[in-house]
Chains A and B, each alone.
Chain A
Amino acid sequence: MGDEKFQNLMEELASLNPVSGLTMSDLIEFPEGVRLLLTWMIHEKVIQVDQVAAHLAIKPHHSRDLLDRMASKGLIEEYKTDDCGDQYQVTVKSGRNYRVPKKIWDVFED
């Protein structure tokens, strides 16, 4: 079961293009497994390899492979710490695509 879940997640990740600056709008469009994993990680804030392994009921080395793949796709960031080992965090950027024309902002600056 754990191996199957790991394989499914890796396949979902393979289908994703790398992102530079993950937004919530990106996240909501992701395949279900990756999407739910990312939202769980948002709740946990900072996570480690064994936490993911326990959460998904997969082997620790699979958990590391998964996290490394997610980091390579720009979905999470890795932090190396001396006392807690490698940690990972979802970093979400704002995805606002609309731009109010500058001349409107200038009115408020006056």
Chain B
Amino acid sequence: MKIITVHSFRRGAGKSTLAANLAVLFALHKQRVGVVDTDFQSPGIGQFLGLSEAEVTHTLNGYLWGQCEIQAAAYDVSARLGLAEPARLVVLPASSDTQDILKMVRSTCDLDRLNDGLQKLSEAYQLDYLLLDSMAGINEDTLVSIALANILLVLLHADQQDYQGTAVTVEVARNLGVTRILLALNEAPQWFDEASAAEQLKNTYQCEVAGIFPHSDDLLALVSARTMALYQPDHPILRVYKGIIDQITSA
């Protein structure tokens, strides 16, 4: 089982969109995938994958606080997303309840308990991949998410703040011994020379560039309520997601 942490230095880069679509595409390729929302301060990946607030009775927060076992906080969405065996897609959502979010701000993310839970989840569902939708930036919780990664997928926009922030993230990841770091650039403007940008990113960060996403009004129109991978499976932007999958699975 491989842990893929999806991270960005700044908020709003598109991590959850990326993680959700990758998870679905992995599953469509007959893989068994778990998606874990570790963005406790702004959770929401469950919504992409068909989970409603009403049905989420147990969350990752509750597991970390010792209120439930990990399996109780895991939701198998395979059937509702039309995924056939052997594929599997399991979501471990974070709580979107205000009090829970505030409690998480005050409390700690227990690395040992998280690590233990991820292992149990992986064993219970025989997962091939576990995608961690991380918080943005560098803090204690994201250091945990990065440290756990077998592959770190860093998402950035084409702007100076993200370029500088990505340098910090890559340095931190290397210091934590992450052996594989992939970059993905999001919302590239129309005039962008993708080949040249990919070369520049690769040379600057000494990392593989997994994909460059053009700006997409169609993606925005999904309003984080569903994945392009299922809603419009023939959309051209999916070639970028599939390229990332190919890079991840090629090693």
Contacts and interface: CB of A to CB of B under 8 A. Distances in A.
Interface of A: 23-25, 27-28, 32, 35-36, 39-40, 42-43, 45, 89, 91-96, 100, 105, 108
B101 to A, nearest CB: 10
B75 to A, nearest CB: 25
Nearest to B171: A28
B108 interface: yes
Contact of B105 (A24, A27, A28, A100): A100
Given A39-B147, A92-B112, A28 B106 contact: no
Contact of A42 (B98, B106, B147, B172): B147
Nearest to A99: B106
Interface of B: 98-99, 102, 105-112, 115-116, 119, 140, 143-144, 147-148, 172, 175-177
B176 A45 contact: no
A63 to B, nearest CB: 19
A29 B143 CA distance: 12
B140 A96 contact: yes
Contact residues of A: prevailing secondary structure = helix
Nearest to A40: B177
A66 to B, nearest CB: 17
B120 to A, nearest CB: 11
B177 A36 contact: yes
B109 A45 contact: no
A105 B103 CA distance: 10
Given A24-B144, A108-B99, 17 more contacts: A23-B140, A24-B140, A25-B143, A35-B176, A35-B177, A39-B147, A39-B177, A42-B147, A42-B148, A92-B144, A94-B108, A94-B140, A100-B106, A105-B102, A105-B106, A108-B98, A108-B102
A81 to B, nearest CB: 16
A3 B177 CA distance: 22
B176 A39 contact: yes
Given A42-B111, A108-B102, A25 B140 contact: yes
A96 to B, nearest CB: 6
B136 to A, nearest CB: 16
Contacts of A35: 175-177
Contacts of A25: 140, 143
B177 A28 contact: no
Nearest to B138: A28
Given A45-B115, A94-B140, A28 B109 contact: no
A33 B90 CA distance: 36
B187 to A, nearest CB: 30
Q: Which of A25, A43, A91, A95 has its CB near the most chain B CB atoms (within 10 A)?
A: A43
B177 A45 contact: no
- List the 8 closest pairs (A to B, CB-CB), nearest first: A94-B108, A24-B143, A92-B111, A39-B177, A36-B177, A95-B140, A39-B176, A24-B140
B178 to A, nearest CB: 8
B140 A42 contact: no
13 contacts: A23-B140, A27-B147, A35-B175, A39-B176, A42-B111, A42-B148, A45-B119, A92-B144, A93-B108, A94-B108, A94-B140, A96-B108, A108-B98
